[in-house]
Structures are given as structure tokens and as C-alpha cells.
Structure 1
Amino acid sequence: MSYQSPISDPYAYLNIVKNPDGSITRDLTNFRCVPATPDPSPLNPVVSKDVSVNGSKSTWMRLYLPDGVSSEKLPLVVYYHGGGFILCSVDLQVFDDFCSVMARDLNVIVASPSYRLAPEHRLPAAYDDGVEALEWIRNSDDEWIKSHADFSNVFLMGTSAGGNLAYNVGLRSADSVVDLIPLQIRGLILHHPFFGGEERCGSEIKLVNDQVCPPVVTDVFWDLCLPVGVDRDHEYSNPTVADGSEKLGRLRWKVLVSGGDGDPMIDRQRDVAKLMKKKGVEVVERFTDGDVHGAEIFDPSKRNTLFVSIRNFISSSSAV
């Protein structure tokens, strides 16, 4: 998305057209995608490769491994990309660069799964795909995963819609019917998570003319991704209406919630963090001054402090 004047036509801003059959046509010319980099080089301290997850759904995953790792077992960060559940992909340059730098700076394996997009595949399709990606990792014979992933130290992370996805995949993984053993999830890292609600919150009112991700744009996201017939107070968009956080409290997972006060959704992010605390979840809050939605994705200069917070979070949450 480009930085423009306040948005009058959110569909034009998102470069999408809604079709009569309920699908959308996406103009992807502004989304630069990059291939994986499986060959190490002095300029490439992290290697990456693509693997298929479910051919019938065309879902796949990009794995990132710091170069030079021997037999060392590393924490595994499962990272879900953003895009309002209707746009973007794993191989989008900004997400690829973010995951690569994160793998290098934190010395972790990053697995970034794709998921089916709405409105062609409305929620909970993305959540189903998110869980299936974890099951694929659990059962995988991939050499990088077998040799280097520490299954006792797994973290679910996502940006924007990916943060919403990490939260909801976490809730599903906390359910006893989802058997992920030997994967042990230690925590959730919700980076500028995408949450909503029917009534405008204070930050949405204050930042109604935000030039990055204003409420008029998020309304379109929710309209296209939520199940037909529900509103924005559905539990998929508004976790404060459900009791899911109690599951996280019982498992004693830690949760890092990171956001910026230039994001219209920050009040919703704070409310979800407050709810989780109330339900007994140990929550680490990282809210920065002036940062817009997804700031660290689009501005590499802001990543270092975020990665320091994530490194500390992983260290304090990992199995001894």
C-alpha cells in the first residue's frame, strides 16, 4: 500500500475490484515478490527455500535458516504475513526481507506459511491453513527442520492479519483436539495485530484520517474476510467478546503484543492485552510512540528495537 492523502475510495486505495460472484480482482503490480535464496553467499547470511504444504489448496511455506548453523537446535518462529486476509503473500519482498533479517538477528529458524485469501476463502479458512502448517512441521522430514528446529521452543508470530491469525491458531492449538506433540508452543508474538469491532474505538475516531490503514480500509478487510452474515463483533475480529484467552492462561503461554500509537487499532490491541492479563496470561506489552500500522515491516530502521524485544521474549519464554 502507498502513502496517500486520506482515503475516499478504499477499494481504489487497495487496488482491488469486487466482482459480481463475490471474488475480487487484485492489481499486484505494486507488490514485488522475490524468490527464495537457497545458496549461501557473503551477502546472504540467511538461506531460504520453499516447500509445499498442501497441494490441493496450493498452500506452501518459506523456511529461513541462518547460514553456518551446524548441529545446533534453534527456536522455531512460525510467522504469518499480513494483508487484511485478502492481500499479500509469503514471498512479498517486505515480508521476505523481514523474516530473513529476523532469522539472522535472533538466530532462529523462521517458517512462514501461506494461507488461502478471502473473500474467495473466508475465515476460518486462514486459521485452518495456519494449523495445518503446524501439523506439516510436526510431521516433516525436511532436513532443515529435522536437524535444526527445536520443537520444544516454538513461537507463533504474525503481523497485522498475521497477528490475528497467530492468536487464533494459538487458540486452536491450545484445544486438546489438535495434537501437535512434540511441538511445544511457548508463546505468541502479536505484531500490530489486526483486531476490530462494530463500534469505533477511541483511536479509530482519533485517527480516522490515518494515511496508512484507516478504519474505512479495515472495514473493507472485515467485510471481505469475515463469514457471510456476521459483523465486526464476531470473535474472529473482536476477541474481547469471546473467552478464548482463558485457554492461553491455562497453558501458561506468554504473549508479546507490539503496536504503535499511530495505528488506529492500538486501542483494540491494548484491550486484547488487558483481557488476556485478566484471564491469567503473562503479557509483555510493547507500544511505541508515533509508529504507524506495520511500521517495522516498511521501515527497516525500526526493526532493531523490535528484534531486541522479541529476543528477550524468546529467551524468557524458552524451555530451560
Structure 2
Amino acid sequence: MLWAVGRGVWRLDGIGERGDLSRLFVMGSSSGGNLAYHAGLHSPSKITGLILNQPYFGGTTRTKSEAASDEDPVLPLRANDTMWQRMFVEMLERAGADVVGRFDEDGSHAAELFDAAKAEALCEEVKEFVHGCC
């Protein structure tokens, strides 16, 4: 954000003229969700809200236990991933963050890139979140 402001991106893009920079939302998908999260940690007073779409907080490779659990009868990898997503929301709530959690049980990672209906639904949810925050 400092890079964009320092280089005049706001002015070049006309964002300052068309938008309200006092209500700044940062959005990221997948590893971009991780970046948006960290932007929020480092500039909390400048950011009104974070939109983390399927944020990825793992390492570059699965651990041995994760890799071996794909078909685990007790905790398959898909269930583990889902629980981590939900736990992240609960951790933020316990820390005092105002969280709106949305879960799509029949989706997949980056489904909105391949399914127009899912893309439209995501856009509507983001719009609802942004307009409902302030």
C-alpha cells in the first residue's frame, strides 16, 4: 500500500477521486489472502476491513502426516483443511476481530475462477461485507 501511494498509483488510477480512501479494504485470494492478512497486521489503523478469500497459510509442501492423510478414515485431508479454515475464523474472533465467515461446502479452491455463478456470488458477498462495515 505504501508502494502504491508513494508512486502515485492512487492518482494515476483515479482511485482518490472515485473512492473513499478513509474506508480502505484489502482483499486477497489464496496466498494473496495471506498477504492481505499481514497487511492488516502491519497497518491496522489504516485498514477498515480485510477480505480473505480462501487464505492460504501453509508451507510450500505438505507435511508427511498431511500427505499421508488424503484418505484417512478419521480425518481425511479435505476435512483437515476445512477445519483449519474454520479454526482460523474462531481464532480471529477470540482475538476480538469482527469476522464474517462464509463457507461453500461444494466448492473447491479458486472455484470462482472457473464457475461464473461462484464468481458472481463472491462479488455479491464482498459488496455486502464492504457496505455493511461502515
TM-score, L = length of structure 1: 0.35
Of 162, 168, 175, the residue aligned with 2:32 is: 162
Distance, in Å, in 1 between the alignment partners of 2:8 and 2:99 is: 27
Indicate the residue corresponding to 2:69 in structure 1: 205
Deviation at 1:281, TM superposition (A): 0.7
Indicate the residue corresponding to 2:20 in structure 1: 150
1:317 partner amino acid:
C
For the residue of structure 2 that corresponds to 1:156, the secondary structure is: strand
Is it true that 1:277 corresponds to 2:93 in the alignment?
yes
CA contact (8 A) 1:273 1:283 kept: yes
| Cα shift readout 1:97-124 (whole Å, capped 9, x = no counterpart) | xxxxxxxxxxxxxxxxxxxxxxxxxxxx
| Cα shift readout 1:141-176 (whole Å, capped 9, x = no counterpart) | 3261231121122110011000111001111112x7
User: Cα distance 1:207–1:151, how it changes in 2: closer, same or farther (>3 A)?
Assistant: farther
Task: State the aligned residue count.
Answer: 126
CA contact (8 A) 1:195 1:269 kept: no
2:120 partner amino acid:
N
**What is the percentage of aligned positions where both structures have the same residue?**
33
CA contact (8 A) 1:196 1:268 kept: no
Of 40, 43, 58, the residue aligned with 1:196 is: 58
For the residue of structure 1 that corresponds to 2:107, the secondary structure is: coil
Deviation at 1:194, TM superposition (A): 0.5
CA contact (8 A) 2:4 2:10 kept: no
Is it true that 1:300 corresponds to 2:113 in the alignment?
no
Query: Superposed, which structure 2 residues align to 1:10-21 within 5 Å?
Result: none
Q: Please, which runs of 5 or more residues in structure 2 have no aligned partner?
A: none
- Over the aligned positions, Cα root-mean-square deviation in angstroms equals 3.0
CA contact (8 A) 1:263 1:291 kept: no
| Cα shift readout 1:213-262 (whole Å, capped 9, x = no counterpart) | xx8xxxxxxxxxxxxxxxxxxxxxxxxxxxxxxxxxxxxxxxxxxxxxx6
Indicate the residue corresponding to 1:311 in structure 2: 127
Indicate the residue corresponding to 2:49 in structure 1: 187
Distance, in Å, in 2 between the alignment partners of 1:272 and 1:298 is: 26
Distance, in Å, in 2 between the alignment partners of 1:205 and 1:148 is: 49
Distance, in Å, in 1 between the alignment partners of 2:71 and 2:120 is: 26
1:279 partner amino acid:
A
User: Cα distance 1:312–1:199, how it changes in 2: closer, same or farther (>3 A)?
Assistant: farther
| Cα shift readout 1:15-35 (whole Å, capped 9, x = no counterpart) | xxxxxxxxxxxxxxxxxxxxx
TM-score, L = length of structure 2: 0.76
CA contact (8 A) 2:28 2:34 kept: yes
Q: Which has the higher strand share?
A: 1
2:43 partner amino acid:
S
Indicate the residue corresponding to 1:228 in structure 2: none
Indicate the residue corresponding to 1:141 in structure 2: 11
For the residue of structure 1 that corresponds to 2:113, the secondary structure is: helix
Distance, in Å, in 1 between the alignment partners of 2:71 and 2:23 is: 38
Deviation at 1:275, TM superposition (A): 0.5
For the residue of structure 1 that corresponds to 2:69, the secondary structure is: helix
User: Cα distance 1:135–1:207, how it changes in 2: closer, same or farther (>3 A)?
Assistant: farther
Deviation at 1:266, TM superposition (A): 2.7
For the residue of structure 2 that corresponds to 1:205, the secondary structure is: coil
